[in-house]
Amino acid sequence: MPKPDIHPTWYPEAKVICNGEVVMTVGSTQPEIHVDVWSGNHPFYTGTQKIIDTEGRVDRFLRKYGMLDPSANTTDSDKEK
């Protein structure tokens, strides 16, 4: 049993609100939780996430650690050598 008068009020049916719409209910110490992102609109969970390769950083990383197939990325300068 918890000690009396030291714990916050527990709301077992707290509403999680995103964009003015109740998206789920959880247990919390607040009756309402307002969020901008939740699993229903986060790019990772919705499958719309894209890896953006800026300036070839992913390829450079893969080459540096030997994870890139050497025959996959051959350029004209590589062919001349």
Q: Which domains does the chain have, with CATH numbers?
A: 11-67 (4.10.80)
Q: What is the pLDDT confidence band of residue 10, given thresholds at 50, 70 and 90?
A: very high
Q: Please determine, for residue 80, whether its predicted confidence score (pLDDT) is greater than 60.
A: no
First to last CA, the chain: 75
CA separation for the pair 53, 49 (Å, rounded): 13
pTM: 0.52
The residues facing 24 across adjacent strands are 16
- Sheet containing 21-28: order of strands: 21-28, 11-18, 32-35
CA separation for the pair 28, 37 (Å, rounded): 18
H or E segment and range at residue 23: strand 21-28
